Amino acid sequence: MRKVTVAAEPAPIAIDLARTAFVIIDMQRDFLEPGGFGETLGNDVSLLQAAVIPCRRVLSAARAIGIMVVHTREGHKPDLSDAPPAKLERGNPSLRIGAPGPMGRILVRGEPGHDIIRALYPVDGEVVIDKPGKGAFYATGLDEMLRGGGIDTLLVAGVTTEVCVNTTVREANDRGYRCLVLADCCASYFPAFHDAGLAMIKAQGGIFGWVAGSDALLAALDS
Identity of residue 70 = V
CA dist list (Å): 177 to 48, 49, 64, 210: 26, 28, 23, 12
My answer on whether omega of the bond before 40 falls inside 30° of 0, hence cis, is: no
Q: Which residues of 95-115 are buried (b: 16+ CB within 10 A; e: fewer)?
A: bbbbeebebbbbbbbebebbb
Residues annotated as catalytic (active site), given as ranges: 26, 131, 164
Cα–Cα dist 58/185, whole Å? 8
102 bridge partner residues: 104
Identity of residue 99 = A
